[in-house]
Amino acid sequence: MSHEYRKNPEAVSRLSPEQYHVTQEGGTERPFANPYWDTKEPGIYVDVVSGEPLFASVDKYDSGTGWPSFTKPIEPRNVVEVRDVALGMVRTEVRSAHGDSHLGHVFDDGPIATGGLRYCMNSAALRFIRRDDLEREGYGEYRALFEHPDGGRSDE
């Protein structure tokens, strides 16, 4: 199934002030005061502006930072990494490839067993799609992420 993801001006116009600040101005939301930092429900996270699939709950972990953290993107082609020296230090910014939204940063202090990366994202840049809503929302191809090889469901 092929989707065309792009920056959607209508979606940008519907952003809350915080979502706009984060996605369009490169801002950062407060830790532990955002909707997805401790969400454990199965599902995927998409760009709030373009809808492009970015991360899955199966790759999410509690990094202790107060932001949603993932070990890897579900669609590497949907994320772009950019060198960021804005705060006087070298970091790697993560942006959505098609929506050009600022999502957060990637660091090399993640779990070693899963590659050592921590994609530290802003909830304000993401929209969560519950596993049971994937088909209805047009993301049915990601349903397999939540199926066990023996046919059972993965509820994390």
Q: How many domains does the chain have?
A: 1
DSSP letter, residue 8: -
Contact predicate 51/63, CB 8 Å: no
Is residue 151 in a domain?
Answer: no
Q: At residue 133, does pLDDT exceed 60?
A: yes
Mean pLDDT of 54-78: 96
Is 120 a known active-site residue?
yes
- The per-residue b/e assignment along 122-153, b for 16 or more CB within 10 angstroms, e otherwise, is bbbbbbbbebeebeeeebeebeebbeeeeeee
Catalytic-labelled residue, pool 15, 22, 117, 120: 120
Contact predicate 46/54, CB 8 Å: yes
Is residue 3 in a domain?
Answer: no
Domain range holding 63? Answer: 9-146
Alpha-carbon span 122 to 47, nearest angstrom: 11
Give residue 147's pLDDT. Answer: 84
Contact predicate 24/102, CB 8 Å: yes
Q: What is the dihedral of CA 74, 116, 122, 147, to 10 degrees?
A: 30
Which of the residue ranges 8-12, 23-27, 87-91 would you say has the lowest mean pLDDT? 87-91
Domain at 134, CATH number: 2.170.150.20
Is residue 153 in a domain?
Answer: no
Is residue 155 in a domain?
Answer: no
Q: At residue 156, does pLDDT exceed 70?
A: no
Alpha-carbon span 15 to 122, nearest angstrom: 14
Helix, strand, coil in percent for the chain, rounding step 5 = 25, 25, 45
Task: Read off the pLDDT of residues 82-129 as tens digits, 9 standing for 90 and up.
Answer: 987 777 778 899 999 999 999 999 999 999 999 999 999 999 999 999
pLDDT bucket at 151, cuts 50 / 70 / 90: very low
| Residue scoring higher pLDDT (6 or 107) | 107
Is residue 69 in a domain?
Answer: yes
Q: At residue 153, does pLDDT exceed 60?
A: no
Is residue 2 in a domain?
Answer: no
Note the residue count of the chain: 156
> 3-state class of 141 per DSSP?
helix
Is residue 88 in a domain?
Answer: yes
Is residue 71 in a domain?
Answer: yes
